[in-house]
Amino acid sequence: MTDKADGRTMIPDEETRLERQLCFAVYSAAHAFNRAYKPILDRVGLTYPQYLVMLVLWEKGSLSVKIIGEKLDLDSGTLSPLLKRLEQAGLIGRARDPRDERQVIVSLTEKGTGMQCQVGSIMDAIGQATGCDMIEIAHLRNQLQRLKANLAAE
């Protein structure tokens, strides 16, 4: 890409094609991840968003719904039904915070805690599906985190 005298960027026609768009590469990669995770998570009875909630809880322990939503960038309209299904499956419990009745605290049940041992096999399967080694995965993750931060700063 070259800059014109007026400060605008000249974009070659080839770069405007769908398959050359960064946004489409990220979008299609996200869908591919979801498709790759589905059969793996089906074996443990979780959807991909449920798995993300469980990862947060396995890492942090009990958290408020608000904090879970912030960590996963999910609004309460998306998160509440997801938590309800996890609760119905016996993996989490929800209770009002005794210090602040407006807050709902989400905690792992014994069954939910017991599932943590399956994270390694899930990660191994996804690692194999990506075809990347740990160094490549770390590099990609760091680039995507930087991209997200840059976009959020706009």
> pLDDT at residue 9 above 80?
no
State how far the Cα of 58 lies from the Cα of 149, in Å rounded to an integer: 25
pLDDT (tens digit per residue) in 59-108? 998 999 999 999 999 998 999 999 999 999 999 999 998 888 888 999 99
Helix (H) or strand (E) holding 108: strand 100-108
Residue 1: predicted pLDDT: 46
Residue 4 — very low, low, confident or very high, per pLDDT cuts 50/70/90? low
Alpha-carbon distances of 149 from 2, 20, 29, 31, 68, rounded to whole Å: 25, 22, 19, 21, 19
pTM: 0.84
DSSP readout, 135-152? HHHHHHHHHHHHHHHHHH
Q: Please state, for a pLDDT cut of 70, what percent of the chain lies above it.
A: 95
Residue 5 — very low, low, confident or very high, per pLDDT cuts 50/70/90? low
Class of domain 22-153: mainly alpha
Neighbours of 113 (CB within 10 A): 16
Helix (H) or strand (E) holding 63: strand 63-64
Residue 2 — very low, low, confident or very high, per pLDDT cuts 50/70/90? very low
Residue 15 — very low, low, confident or very high, per pLDDT cuts 50/70/90? confident
What is the DSSP-derived secondary structure letter of residue 98?
T
State how far the Cα of 134 lies from the Cα of 80, in Å rounded to an integer: 34
